[in-house]
Amino acid sequence: MYLDCAVFENYRNIEHFPFSFDREINILYGKNAQGKTNVIEGIYLFGSGKSFRHAREKDLIKSDKNHSQISIAYVDAQRENKMSYRIFRDLSRETFKNGVKIGRMSNFIGNFKAVLFCPEHLSIVKNEPAERRGFLDSAISQFNRPYLSALMECKKLLEQRNALLKNYEKNKDSFALTAEILSEKLAADAAYITEVRAKYLTRLFALVDTYLRDMTGGRESIGFTYLSHIAGKETEELFDRAANLEKYRKLFQKDIQREILIGTTVSGSHKDDFEIRLGGMNAKIFASQGQQRSIALAMKLAEGEISKEESGEYPVFLLDDVLSELDRERKNYVLSELHGRQVIITTCDEADFAGISHAKKIYVENGNYTYI
Ligand SMILES: Nc1ncnc2c1ncn2[C@@H]1O[C@H](COP(=O)(O)OP(=O)(O)OP(=O)(O)O)[C@@H](O)[C@H]1O
Ligand SMILES: [Mg+2]
């Protein structure tokens, strides 16, 4: 998949700019706070449907404007496609693919595929569980639509179930029946979500192992332990959706009195996590900073590889400010692995890329972009 053009209008500090990208390496460089990450963020909206910086939609609109629009043209194995993403100050949003309005976000995500790598991802080994879940969810959602739908439904069900738990006194008469219906639906979604995540991680870490050995020449084995309320000794146990469902059902029944007291759902796939293990030890505690970064890099490369296995073509790689954080050896490794794929890189230091002669270079200054 290749991103050929992206037209930004009134997005963050960009009033209007039509970008055209090379199908290999593109480098956006310039001083801090000029509008480099804004471009990556705008492109990745088409991959994940939201800002990777957790920004509110209204913050994406240029401060003196009423609406913002980004349009992209990309080619996949089938054809050239056009997509647009419009945001209005009243928080409404419109999305289009090839001129047709897309109603549901679950139909928008999964068309344009991208792997994002930003500085926060370098510490994925020790970040909060929510960030590791976020990694899984955005990676899997781009090629697995039923998973994305289950995630969205699960979020709604959780809100409803939590509201019910909080208002137990008011709803005493109907509580038992409503709780049972919501718990059953939630257990079904959670059983499926945990199954898909466990399978994805198993696949991912087989690739991470290869990348890591290649990158560092290390001989320590890399792996993960799935952390879930329903996890047993072996990850494979979680591949059995019917068994997962039974376990979640039991948990919801067991916990209900406690949940009424605290007014929230205590277990489910929304609490899943995974611990990364290097040489049999918890990497969060035992791996050095450099090792943790190498693991993060290997995870991103593996994410791209699985995306390719699923869709038949590589996604677009978006590297926001990460290469300058890596030592020469790791940087060269990443660049050689990404050779032949489309990469859009941001950096403050152009000198970082002095050795790359065939890159398209774009100088960034105060929301203005100049091809060099
Ligand atoms: N809604 C908005 N309207 C106008 N300007 C905005 C808006 N949101 C952000 N900005 C501006 O965009 C700039 C930040 O852009 P960006 O995050 O892309 O910087 P950067 O070039 O990646 O910098 P760094 O090298 O520090 O990461 C800031 O000057 C900020 O004030
Ligand atoms: Mg930036």
Contact by Cβ (8 Å): 315, 342: no
pLDDT of residue 355: 73
Q: Residue type for 26, please?
A: N
Q: What confidence category does residue 351 fall into, taking pLDDT thresholds of 50, 70 and 90?
A: confident
- Distance between Cα 35 and ligand 2 center (Å): 7
Ligand 1: residue whose CA is nearest its atom 27: 32
CA dist list (Å): 95 to 10, 46, 111: 16, 10, 12
**Three-class secondary structure of residue 11 per DSSP:** strand
Nearest ligand 1 atom, CA 61: 1
More confident position, 355 or 340: 340
pLDDT of residue 136: 98
- Distance between Cα 11 and ligand 2 center (Å): 15
Model confidence pLDDT, tens digit, residues 174-209: 999 999 999 999 999 999 999 999 999 999 999 999
Ligand 1 site, CB within 6 A: 12-13, 30, 32-38, 59, 61-63, 321, 348, 364
Contact by Cβ (8 Å): 36, 357: no
Mean pLDDT taken over the chain: 95
Ligand 1: residue whose CA is nearest its atom 28: 33
Site to probe by mutation for ligand 1, drawn from 8, 38, 67, 319 as the one with most ligand atoms within 8 Å of Cβ, is 38
Q: CA 305 to CA 135: how far, in whole Å?
A: 15
Q: Which burial class, exposed, middle or buried, applies to 210 when counting CB atoms under 10 A from its CB (0-12, 13-18, 19+)?
A: middle
Ligand 1: residue whose CA is nearest its atom 5: 13
Nearest ligand 1 atom, CA 35: 18
pLDDT of residue 326: 86
Question: Would the pLDDT of 93 be above 90?
Answer: yes
- Neighbour-count burial for 301-331, b at 16+ CB within 10 Å, e otherwise: bbbbbbbbeebeebbbbbbbbbbeebeeebb
How large is the C-alpha radius of gyration of the chain? 22
DSSP string, 265-288: ---SGGG-EEEEEETTEEHHHHS-
- Distance between Cα 322 and ligand 2 center (Å): 10
Q: What confidence category does residue 356 fall into, taking pLDDT thresholds of 50, 70 and 90?
A: confident
Nearest to 353 by CA among 330, 331, 320, 329: 331
- Distance between Cα 129 and ligand 1 center (Å): 28
* Sheet strands side by side (includes 93-97): 14-20, 2-11, 67-75, 80-88, 93-97, 100-102
pLDDT above 90 covers a percentage of the chain that reads 91
Domains and CATH numbers, the chain: 1-113+315-372 (3.40.50.300), 120-310 (1.20.1050.90)
Question: How many CB atoms are located within 10 Å of the residue 372 CB?
Answer: 10
pLDDT of residue 46: 98
Angle between helices 145-166 and 172-216 (to 10 degrees): 140
Model confidence pLDDT, tens digit, residues 73-83: 999 998 999 99
Question: Would the pLDDT of 110 be above 90?
Answer: yes
Q: What are phi and psi of 59, to 5 degrees?
A: -75, -15
More confident position, 172 or 43: 43
Contact by Cβ (8 Å): 321, 329: no
Question: Would the pLDDT of 348 be above 90?
Answer: yes
pLDDT of residue 33: 97
- Distance between Cα 347 and ligand 2 center (Å): 8
DSSP string, 152-197: HHHHHHHHHHHHHHHTTTTTHHHHHHHHHHHHHHHHHHHHHHHHHH
- Distance between Cα 33 and ligand 1 center (Å): 5
